[in-house]
Structure 1
């Protein structure tokens, strides 16, 4: 009996692939405006530092930030920060949605979400790739799985995903060539420093949400039982752990400043200002000791202004003192981060009909 091949409902020559629409087909100016509003609401520190950049770089920075902020909010069930969602049931589904929308945006397809369309826009301009984005998304995956670091290596792997990899993307947004490995290494160092300072500031908030980014091995060494690090009786030991983390942040910060010396003046000033602001967070946590988590540590407007001024002095002087090499280099962390991930597909490189626009 002859098998009848089913006929499509629509002729094949009528069915067309969705046309590529970089930025989701939205006007670039509209994406920039939405991204600017996002950074103003989500991070006053980044907003202040970004004002030091030239217009094109500032806009691209805002576009990338909008994607990072949106991913973070989707993963945690937030809106520009605030109380973390404790609903773990859908956490993995939310991360999968982030990955699908991100890949779609990088493929030049509309996503119906402004922040993801913003990523597609800036990626088309500077050549951001799927592998770069997946490095970041894998950090959200760890949180969704209820992961906790057992060792220092685990901690730094997480910091690479959620901040070091973002630093690399930001460097490319600022015009650092993809093959300028030393400068990209320093950009990763900056992200690592930022995240370590964020962790020490947010220990109480993370604990309330059932998270802990202090390595279990460190807690054991300090004789702190798992889940008990916020107890008043353990605060002195916790301060010692925080000092250790802030010291690591300081070392990565120092290397990031060396990399800043390779940037144009306004970019260098912006990076140094941001480094000063985030470094001050860690220093303030240590200075407040056991009382550091009675309220959220932050830097005030006048304090930020002073730190921006200090960044200007350093940007002009070009004085970047050498420091000992960090234990956790970008190369080591990439090896840890990608060891179980399949090789990227052919869409990893910018599509030929779009190319990369000059900075």
Structure 2
């Protein structure tokens, strides 16, 4: 139940109108900026929340630094009495969780949202920050289509070994946690795993692993293989399924190198009219280090099919036999002329037939990079997050 003490209060420039949502340690209110009458969302956390309060402060600082069209911006932050607050645009539609609850998304729609979220996550990684809590409820949709990645409360510097959690408990949401997080620190690869779970959820309507408690779910990520997405959605093709399952591979080295690489591979997989693009297995390390990439080309039409090979072999064999017969005929004719040559008669030049072998290489498909379609530019947000 939302605390009523903040409703109808004025905090800095913001008049609190009503409550929107309540989490374990935070509350979200609808407020109005009295300077310009803009409707905003105010996320509030009590100072007594301890560790969560510190995470919230880190989130506010991170969001102020990350200016990206698909990262929900922090308009303001500060403290009021025994509360800390952060102000963001109000997104009326709500979260991706709401959209997924209506059923699996068409592949093209899922690809569009994936591209936007991947772009935001890539930007965070390039600026040295891990998100560590990628999930459907942390993606807001404006008008149901334009996506914002939000809730950087668990954000962590890639090179920062300091962790706010010192009690030994795992950080994150169990349904989206990479198996290596049981023993190792978060990396870009674990963020990409969570993004893969999100993609799985968008196209099937469900996360790959569920359980009675968080420990049970985490152990499934560690020990069990996810159900093939095509079993839940027949529209998922083998190429699409291959991309999804590679993204949530147990071994971090087999996942995609970057969020954008995942988004590009998924787009190529579901767009059957597009030129195939390679699917990369990579070895993740610190973000500033160059990963080792092993390319596994996606299936592509070859110039010569397997069905045509016997015919090609037959033609080549026939041509070779014809050449051998020609050589024998010429040799026989030369021998016959030699037997009937008169003394003093000039000899004719000897014709030597030689064959030239031409090796025809079956061309391999050349990966063609295709830039995803230009996204629509963000309109100035007029609302914020539930």
Q: Could you say which TM-score interval applies, normalised by the shorter chain? A: under 0.3
Q: TM-score, normalising length from structure 2? A: 0.25
TM-score (norm 1): 0.26
Looking at CA atoms only, which structure, 1 or 2, has the larger radius of gyration?
Answer: 2
More strand by share: 2
Higher RCO by CA contacts (8 Å cutoff, separation 6 or greater): 1
